[in-house]
Structure 1
Amino acid sequence: MIEVAVAPDRVAAGEPVELTVRLTNADSGPCTHVVLKLELPRQVALLSGTSRIEVARLGAGESVERVLRVRPDEEGRWVVRSGNFSYRDRWGDSRRVVDFRTGIEVTPRQAARVVPEPEFTVTLVDRVLPDGRWSLLRGRVANTGVPVLVGLAVGISGPFDVDAGGARQLLGSLAPGDTAEFTAHVRPTGSGTHVPVRIDVDCRTDAGLTRSARHTVDLHVRSADERPGRAPTDRTRILYLSANPSDTHRLRLAAESRAIQEQLRFGVDRDHYAFHERSAVRTRDITQALLDVRPRIVHFSGHAEPDGRLYVENEVGASRLVSVDGLASLFEQVSDTVECVIVNACDTVALAEAVARHVDHVIGMRQPIGDDAAIAFSVGFYQALAAGEPVPKAFGMACVQIRLDDGTHAEHGTPLLLGTSV
């Protein structure tokens, strides 16, 4: 049987808190197709995360956890229920739990204590450096808040060598409005106009509040034969389309978009790609974006029906279905520029097969895919793409990325690669 635990079970009213939902297989054999849809009481607002949890396979004794960020608005004893809790046991028999419930005690709202937060900004003085040579990289930290910053420390990292004394520096205390300078000798190991410099800042205040933040600043690293003012070459355009209509369950689309951009930014071929995003798309938004961006890679994330029809939004944000043959015809019209289409949505084999008649590479999903696996796929795919790998190799790396995590391992066979060049 599948046991469910929700923690903590005691929280304060008005305070955002992370609820951890833990699913444990207490049976002696594996359980599959686990689905749990939590119904939060109206007194508890869901801030982030999804109340629908899907796990493809859970071995005997194994557990998975999902985190929801919620805010209880009223004190009292409230009940979290589920009217949609099912799984298949070790014999493959379908099991449905109809009476799941657990309690959360919400204590009275605590009086807010106003304590000034540490605030600061980070800038680089040097923004252009030569490739392969030791150079001085200078930056500044400014205290833009009210309290004095104590124990201020700066760490520098990126695709370059850093001298031992510059990788992490202690800057001491910084009064409000003051600025401290940090320096490091670095040797870039690759040229480009968007080489990322990661600057990690740690500090605390006299009141004991701590803050750690990472700032990423682009650096222009010039190759030996590059002339100042040289125009950048045309980059491969990636169009990221997403839709999460108001009447469908929440997906972590922002997290996926952020992960894709991060992988592109830190790859050795970072300057070869340009990322364009359109969210909450309607049908006309898709066609307009294809005409405006003229991408080589199109990535759609959202929901789909088992027959391959995609959900987009209507004028008021609710769901509207787009036909498979309509989308296939659309990509036929842009097949002169589009080389790869990725449909990161459940049950999109029929759509992938239709689009693959016109596009070199098309990726769809054989069956439902969970949020974590979908994001893992995108991370692996664009990680490889930004390293200069072709689409088939990037697809293979994406499937491996799903397989590496115990929580998503069972879904590594869900993605499917088709196309005229496969």
Structure 2
Amino acid sequence: MSHTILFIKINPIGTSNLFLDSEIKIIEDVLQKSAYRDEYTIISKGAVTIDDLHEYLETYKPQVLHISGHGGNGSLFFHDKENYKKNVSVQQFCMFVKNYTEHLECVFLNACYSLAEIKDISPSYAPILIGMKEEVANTTAILFSKAFYTSFFSGKPVSKSFDSAMGVVGIDGFGDERIPVIMGNTSTTHIKSNQSIEEPQNGSPKMSIKKISRTTWSSDLTILRNTLANLYVDNEDIKRILDESAIDISSIAFSNKPVNTWHGILKYLYKRAEFDNFLEVISVENPEIQSKYIDN
């Protein structure tokens, strides 16, 4: 099960050509050079209207939404039905994408002034938000994008990939102005894949089976994931547990790192509310799961 990056190109009639096809080609090349290339799918769409965006978010359920194009005065310039400019307030845009937090974890707005009017975002806004607070040259925007995804596809979380990209454009002569900005809870584990996964830890606190089966992704699930990654390291052993739990393994992406595999499994179970049967199976085999994670 790969993780989806939805790349949206907005360059309506009457705005200068930004060569957005070049940016997506660069990102795709970066992915192909990555050791984790099989874990991601990039879907690129051009001349996008708001109706189109709605359809794509519902259909593809991306983890990352990347929008490249023009912006100004706190707005993004989408296409209207005739491919002319339609101003969309970034504030309204953020309210819209909040509806997709069950899968959407990062929104990257590679457009001038996209975050110029936003000082901060509400704690209830789940996705990390990356954007530009001022005008940025097209070449610099593409360089920043390439640097971000080079780090992101190599295993770094979103916040550290952002920092690396800032370092690259700074060395390149961009200056010390922090035109690209990042907002949101960057301390939370994001992107259910290799880049945001912590190493397994010991000494996990207790949690109840009911809390696990109904919670949003949180530190509780991170704790359980790390514990399972310590207990079940071999993919064949993991497949055995899934089979005993009646989980369809064809929907699971297996990694060479058990913590990555377990992260995907728990995300799959959370979306389908199937934790109870799974925990019953593993607790029979592992009394420590019963004692640490399931209240009697």
TM-score category of the 2 structures, normalised to the smaller one:
0.5 to 0.7
Check conservation: 1:377, 1:398, Cα contact below 8 A: yes
1:379 corresponds in structure 2 to: 146
CA distance in 2, matches of 1:381, 1:325: 24
Structure 1 unaligned segments of length 5 or more: list them.
1-233
CA RMSD of aligned residues (A): 1.8
SS of equivalent residue, structure 1 residue 332 = helix
1:93 corresponds in structure 2 to: none
What is the TM-score normalised by the length of structure 1?
0.42
Cα 1:391–1:348 change in 2 (3 A) is same
Cα 1:398–1:352 change in 2 (3 A) is farther
Structure 2 unaligned segments of length 5 or more: list them.
188-296
1:347 corresponds in structure 2 to: 113
More helix by share: 2
Q: CA deviation at 1:260?
A: 0.7
Which protein has the larger Cα radius of gyration, Structure 1 or Structure 2?
1
Q: CA deviation at 1:402?
A: 1.2
Aligned match for 2:156, one of 382, 389, 396: 389
Cα 1:259–1:380 change in 2 (3 A) is same
Check conservation: 2:107, 2:129, Cα contact below 8 A: yes
1:8 corresponds in structure 2 to: none
Check conservation: 2:75, 2:114, Cα contact below 8 A: yes
1:293 corresponds in structure 2 to: 60
2:240 corresponds in structure 1 to: none
2:182 corresponds in structure 1 to: 417
Pairs within 5 Å for 1:204-353: 234-306=1-73, 308-349=74-115, 350=117, 353=120
Pairs within 5 Å for 1:69-108: none
Check conservation: 2:108, 2:129, Cα contact below 8 A: yes
Larger relative contact order (CA 8 Å, sep ≥ 6): 2
What is the TM-score normalised by the length of structure 2?
0.59
TM-superposition CA deviations, 1:317-359 (whole Å, max 9, x none)? 1101112333122111101110101001111223584487412
2:217 corresponds in structure 1 to: none
1:401 corresponds in structure 2 to: 168
Check conservation: 1:343, 1:352, Cα contact below 8 A: no
2:126 corresponds in structure 1 to: 359
TM-superposition CA deviations, 1:113-161 (whole Å, max 9, x none)? xxxxxxxxxxxxxxxxxxxxxxxxxxxxxxxxxxxxxxxxxxxxxxxxx
2:6 aligned partner, one-letter code = L
CA distance in 1, matches of 2:144, 2:68: 12
CA distance in 2, matches of 1:375, 1:357: 30
Check conservation: 1:325, 1:354, Cα contact below 8 A: no
CA distance in 2, matches of 1:276, 1:241: 8
SS of equivalent residue, structure 1 residue 405 = helix
More strand by share: 1
Cα 1:411–1:254 change in 2 (3 A) is farther
Cα 1:414–1:264 change in 2 (3 A) is same
SS of equivalent residue, structure 1 residue 338 = coil
Check conservation: 2:90, 2:114, Cα contact below 8 A: no
CA distance in 2, matches of 1:296, 1:310: 20
SS of equivalent residue, structure 2 residue 175 = helix
SS of equivalent residue, structure 1 residue 276 = strand
